[in-house]
Amino acid sequence: MKLVRYGPPAAERPGIWLDATKAEPARIVDVRGMVFDIEDYDARFWRTFGMERLKNLLKETPLKTIPAAGVRLGPPVAPPRQIVCLGKNYRDHAQEFDAKVPEFPVYFAKSPGALCGPYDPIRLRPGMERVDGEAELALVIGRRARDVQEGEALAYVAGYAVMNDVTNRDLQKARGQWFFAKGADTFAPLGPWLVARDEIKRPHALGIRQRVNGEILQDSKTSKMIFRIDMVLADLSRVMTLEPGDVVSTGTPGGIGSARRPPMVLHDGDVVECEIDGIGTLRNPVTLAYG
């Protein structure tokens, strides 16, 4: 099951993506049109057993659907309470970043306001000269997690998506911290959909890639994470309560553009793709914003 949110920015409707078949092209189930009290994929949705309700909804006939062609997809979850990210969670990225492999997980926050859809433009403001993307596996919390054990941690995951942790490297270096450099508007494309947890049997065995203008920059596997998802969720939940709808992004592998010689940073007119096997591909054009 693939959860999507579709429509204009800030006015998205909840839907379920139905892949194309030989008989018909891809379609989107109009969830709100069929279930009046599911207004969005928000905290209330997760608290009221939303995933189970959607599974039952798919058994109904006929389904109320719309053609997917030409429909904008937004982030697959409503603006979350928080986005928690991991830094340097792949050894090769730690080496290219500052050559220091962490002993413990390195956490930082990304602004929920940075979220955008899987095909929306990444907007660079004047003066952003050294910006690049980071392909990451993200997950959404499905139920409240506090003091969870590693062996039970994955049961708290609702599903998985792809995130591009876009980063202004000049600002990151100049300010000596990460939040400001990673929190700009459109610096967190997420999607293209949220794939239900039970459809991703081995989240630590997925290919993960980033391409810019068709050229591969990152090409790795989630098996190369230093700190696995279950360890991370247990670690976080010992300090903070993770609420339904919270997003956790698990870090990026080596190969980022700014670490290359010569650097391959993002410019107006570029197209950056982030892809994870079994989940999908973000494809975001890069534009220069003047306001």
pLDDT 10s digits, 238-267? 999 999 999 999 999 999 999 999 999 999
State the residue range of the domain holding 38.
2-67
38 within some domain:
yes
Take residue 252 and report the two structure tokens written for it.
Answer: 């990026």
Alpha-carbon separation of residue 108 from 87, 111, 180 (angstroms) = 7, 10, 11
User: What pLDDT digit, counting tens, does each position of 116-175 carry?
Assistant: 999 999 999 998 999 999 999 999 999 999 999 999 999 999 999 999 999 999 988 888
Q: How far is CA 57 from the centre of its chain?
A: 25
Alpha-carbon distance of 249 to 164, in angstroms, equals 9
Alpha-carbon distance of 16 to 57, in angstroms, equals 10
Domain count for the chain: 2
Indicate if 191 and 283 belong to the same structural domain.
Answer: yes
Indicate if 126 and 270 belong to the same structural domain.
Answer: yes
Indicate if 99 and 236 belong to the same structural domain.
Answer: yes
Take residue 183 and report the two structure tokens written for it.
Answer: 């929190």
User: What pLDDT digit, counting tens, does each position of 16-53 carry?
Assistant: 999 999 989 999 999 999 999 999 999 999 999 999 99
Q: What is the pLDDT confidence band of residue 100, given thresholds at 50, 70 and 90?
A: confident
Listed in sequence order, the residues at least 6 apart from 273 whose beta carbon sits closer than 8 Å to its beta carbon are: 209, 210, 211, 212, 281, 282, 283, 284
pLDDT value of position 291: 58
Indicate if 36 and 105 belong to the same structural domain.
Answer: no
Asked if residue 232 has pLDDT above 80, the reply is yes
73 within some domain:
no
Alpha-carbon distance of 90 to 61, in angstroms, equals 45
> Higher pLDDT residue, 100 or 56?
56
pTM over 0.85: yes
Residue 133 neighbours by CB distance under 10 Å:
31
Asked if 37 contacts 14 with a C-beta cutoff of 8 angstroms, the reply is no
Averaged pLDDT of the chain: 95
